[in-house]
Amino acid sequence: MSGQPKDHDLQTHRPRELRKNSSYPERRLWSILRDSRLADLKFRRQVPIGQYIVDFLCIEHRLIVELDGDSHNERGEYDIRRQTILETNGYRVLRISNDDVLHHLDNVGDAILKACGIPLT
């Protein structure tokens, strides 16, 4: 009997593994996004979209929030190609640096609200 197909791995196992082993900046951002804490926006994390797994997704606003840490310094072309494909499929991608999450979390929340068209109070 053969193993599970790769699609199944992408849809369930890999996202679960990524959630379980999330970085500190991912956990910190999730602390303000989970349970609709940010202006009642519903976010999911480590969501498969096609061949990619995105960090955070607000389906209602078709907004993907991607955290960029040091590993992204080496992946510029890949990230651009990936973002182009996601945008071609109707998503908007907001890239946030780990440093901003760690040191300017309020500003990150404001940027997400702005990307969703929600006025700041």
Q: What is the pTM of this model?
A: 0.84
* Average confidence (pLDDT) over 18-32: 90
Return the higher-pLDDT residue of 75 and 42.
42
- Whether residue 85 is predicted with pLDDT greater than 60 in this model: the reply is yes
In the sheet that holds 63-68, the strands lie side by side as 44-49, 52-58, 63-68, 92-97
Residue 89, C-beta contacts closer than 8 angstroms, at least 6 positions apart:
49, 50
Confidence of residue 71 (pLDDT cuts 50, 70, 90): low
